[in-house]
Amino acid sequence: MDGTKRVTGHAVSGMRALALAACTLTVLAWTLDASALTSIGASSFSATATKITFEDLPGDNSDIPAGYAAGSGIASFQGATESEVYADYGATLPVNATAAGLGAVGATWGCSGTCGTGFTLSVPRQRVGMYLSSNVPLSMQVSAYRGALLLGSVTPSFAADQIGFVGFEDAGGIDRIAISDNSADPGSINQLDNILLEDIGGQIAAPSDIPTLSQWSIITLCGALALVTAFRLRRRRN
C-alpha cells in the first residue's frame, strides 16, 4: 500500500513539475515576443538606407499631402505634421541643419495643445531613425511599435538650435514611431527631418499584438499555479 502511495506521489509531483515547466515556457514565450529593441545612432545606417528628406515639399506650414513618401515605405504621417523651412527658426538652426545634411525643409510638429507627431510604415523595417531639432530646448518621448506592441521608448533632450538624432533597431521590425510634444518648451514648433529606414537581414516577424485580457488571465493563472506547486513541493520535502 505504501509503495502505491509512493508511486502516486511521484506521479503527482511529476505532473506538477510539468505544469510548472509549461507555465514558465508560456510566460517566457510572451515575454520574448515583446522586443529586442536597441537605440542606435545615425552612423549605424548605411549609405544605401532609404531616406525621406522632405526637400520636395514647399515650406511655410504646408500640409504634408496624403500618400507622401509612399514609395519610400511611409504609410501615413500622424499628428500636427506640416512642412517647414529651417529659415523660419532664426539664423542659427538653418546653418546647423545644412551642416548636418538636412537641407532647407523638414516636417514640423507641436502647437499650444497636445500635438505630437509620428509616422506609420507600410511594412516593418529593422532600423528606423530620424533627426529632431528646434530653436528652443527640446525634450520629447519617442516610441517604437510593431503592430499594437510597444517595443520601447527613449526621452532624448537636445539644446536649442542643435541637431539631434534618434534611432531604433529591432530584428523583428518596427512599423510605427510616435513622437510626443516638446516638454522642455510646451507649445513650441519643432522639426522632424531625414527619416532613415533600413533592414539588416533575416526574417522580419509579422506584427504581434500585446497579449489580450484572456491571455493575461492565462499568464496569471500559470504564475499562481507555479507558486502553489513550488510551495507544495517544498512542504513535501520538509
Mean pLDDT over 198-213 rounds to 60
Res 129: pLDDT? 98
Torsion, CA 45, CA 50, CA 56, CA 59, rounded to 10:
-50
Q: Higher-confidence residue: 185 or 23?
A: 185
Q: Is the pLDDT of residue 222 over 80?
A: no
Task: For residue 94, give the nearest of 193, 181, 196 by alpha carbon.
Answer: 193
Rg (CA), the chain: 25
Cβ atoms 152, 120 nearer than 8 A: no
pLDDT tens per residue across span 52-111: 999 999 988 889 999 999 999 999 999 878 999 999 999 999 999 999 999 999 999 998
**pLDDT bucket at 216, cuts 50 / 70 / 90:** very low
What residue type is assigned to position 26 of the chain? Answer: T
**pLDDT bucket at 171, cuts 50 / 70 / 90:** very high
Mean pLDDT over 23-28 rounds to 45
Cβ atoms 168, 144 nearer than 8 A: yes
Res 212: pLDDT? 41
Cβ atoms 60, 89 nearer than 8 A: no
- Where do the DSSP E strands lie in 48-184? 50-52, 62-63, 74-79, 82-85, 105-109, 117-133, 138-139, 142-146, 149-154, 157-158, 163-179
Mean pLDDT over 227-237 rounds to 59
The Cα–Cα gap between 212 and 25 comes to 18
- What is the CATH code of the structural domain delimited by 38-198? 2.60.120.1360
The Cα–Cα gap between 86 and 163 comes to 12
Res 61: pLDDT? 84
**pLDDT bucket at 235, cuts 50 / 70 / 90:** low
Q: Enumerate residues 6+ apart whose C-beta is below 8 A from 22.
A: 222
Strand partners, 157: 139
